[in-house]
Amino acid sequence: MLPSVENVEVKTREDVKKNKKERKEKAEKEKPIKIRIRLFPIWLRLLIIVVLLGLSLLAGVAVGYGIIGNGEMDDAFKESTWTHIIDLVKKQ
């Protein structure tokens, strides 16, 4: 024989959507608040980036003048070298 229809619970689309929305709201309320603690503050990160950029600039000058330019690496940081380079560029 066929099962009894009287014992079957009928759900409409609206009921399913309502239950889904209620479960979602309940899950959002139960979520723990995640607090992020930074190991390094943002200002320190920026300072580190600026220092690293400066060091890479100095290393590039030393390598460019000392190795590629066939000069001494120490000469790249002397004032006379830079005045000579500026004079060559300006051609005065």
What pTM does this model have?
Answer: 0.55
In a domain, 1, yes or no: no
Among residues 61, 84, 91, 55, the alpha carbon closest in space to that of 74 is found at 61
> Whose structure tokens read 């930074």?
38
Backbone angles phi, psi at 7, to 5 degrees: -85, -5
Among residues 78, 48, 50, 83, the alpha carbon closest in space to that of 62 is found at 78
Cα–Cα distance between 63 and 76 in angstroms, integer? 9
In a domain, 25, yes or no: no
How confident is the model at residue 15, as a pLDDT?
A: 81
In a domain, 15, yes or no: no
Question: Average pLDDT in the 56-77 region?
Answer: 91
Domain residue limits at 54: 41-92
pLDDT-derived band of residue 7, with 50, 70 and 90 as boundaries? low
In a domain, 6, yes or no: no
Is pLDDT at 37 greater than 70 in this prediction?
Answer: yes
Number of structural domains, the chain? 1
Number of helices (H) and strands (E) in the chain: give both, helices first.
3, 0
